[in-house]
């Protein structure tokens, strides 16, 4: 896909998904298990060209560490997480599929992130799941510039599909996220979806994290 096509596609899709992802309809179908949810969408799927990274995230019920390595133009990811009565491990891959520009200060991107995870619970409710997220992002400022040139801010819609072995769960939904970066360092926040008639203080699956990009 060309940069021009990526620009218009990302802008149109982001507008549509943002309008749809209001509190009553963020969860389109099924129920998100949370098993493969470790962190916000990796920056390698948001137009950032440094694929390697390390990071820490805090979710609704768990703390997670993550690391990414550059493979095939994207990031090969690994995760480990712990909660009060369970632990989880997982891995995945994230890559930007198309990029574009709106003027000189706004960058657009379409990406993909596939993450699988396994959760072991002390209550015996063990299971695995696979999650595919397609982030559609607008980034104000260049996300690849050095810290001395100023920060950048990415806003993205995140349609996703999930399937898992725990009670044969599945889910389709739309999340949203933001990434504020200062050169290689970034602070990230994301929620996967809202339940019907939920309030901001009762987000279904949300996470806050910090990450540091490695490499050139």
pLDDT one-digit tens code per residue, 178-201 = 999 998 999 999 988 755 444 444
Say yes or no to pLDDT of 3 above 60: no
Exposure string of 125-134, with b = 16+ CB inside 10 Å and e = fewer, is eebbbbbbbb
Predicted pLDDT of residue 194:
54
Residue 164 pLDDT > 70: yes
Q: Exposure string (b/e) for 66-100, b if CB count within 10 Å is 16 or more? A: bbbebeeebbbbebebebeebebbbbbbbbbbbbb
pLDDT tens digits, residue range 94-124?
999 988 887 778 888 999 999 999 998 887 7
Position 122 scores a pLDDT of 84
How many domains does the structure of the chain reveal? 1
**pLDDT value, residue 197:** 44
Alpha carbon distance 79, 187 (integer Å): 18
In the predicted structure, residue 138 carries a pLDDT above the cut 50: yes
* DSSP track, 92-110: EEEEEEEEEEETTTEEEEE
> Residue 1: pLDDT above 60?
no
Q: How far is CA 5 from CA 9, 135, 155, in A?
A: 6, 16, 19
**Which of 153, 96, 85, 169 has the alpha carbon at shortest distance from 119?**
85
- Residue 199 is predicted with a pLDDT of 44
Q: Looking at residue 35, what is its pLDDT?
A: 85
Q: Containing domain of residue 50, as a range? A: 3-214
Confidence of residue 169 (pLDDT cuts 50, 70, 90): confident
Residue 10 confidence (pLDDT): 53
Q: What is the pLDDT of residue 84?
A: 85
Q: Are 171 and 201 in contact (CB under 8 A)?
A: no
Q: pLDDT-based confidence at 211, cuts 50/70/90?
A: very high
Average pLDDT over residues 79-99: 92
Residue 69: pLDDT over 90: yes
| pLDDT given for residue 14 in this prediction | 54
In the DSSP assignment, the letter for residue 166 is G
State the average pLDDT for the chain: 82
């Amino acid at each position: 896909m060309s940069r021009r096509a990526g620009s218009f596609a990302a802008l149109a899709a982001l507008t549509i998904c943002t309008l749809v992802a209001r509190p009553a309809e963020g969860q389109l179908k099924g129920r998100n298990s949370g098993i493969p949810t470790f962190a916000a969408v990796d920056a390698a799927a948001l137009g950032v060209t440094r694929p390697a990274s390390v990071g820490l995230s805090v979710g609704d019920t768990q703390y997670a560490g993550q690391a990414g390595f550059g493979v095939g133009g994207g990031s090969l990811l690994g995760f480990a997480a712990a909660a009060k009565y369970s632990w989880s491990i997982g891995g995945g891959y994230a890559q930007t599929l198309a990029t574009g520009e709106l003027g000189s200060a706004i960058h657009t991107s379409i990406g993909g992130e596939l993450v699988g995870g396994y959760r072991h619970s002390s209550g015996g409710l063990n299971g695995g799941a696979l999650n595919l997220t397609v982030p559609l992002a607008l980034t104000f400022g260049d996300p690849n510039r050095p810290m001395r040139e100023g920060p950048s801010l990415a806003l993205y819609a995140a349609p996703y599909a999930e399937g898992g072995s725990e009670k044969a769960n599945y889910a389709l939904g739309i999340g949203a996220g933001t990434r504020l970066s200062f050169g290689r360092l970034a602070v990230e926040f994301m929620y996967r979806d809202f339940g019907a008639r939920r309030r901001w203080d009762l987000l279904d699956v949300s996470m806050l994290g910090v990450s540091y990009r490695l490499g050139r």
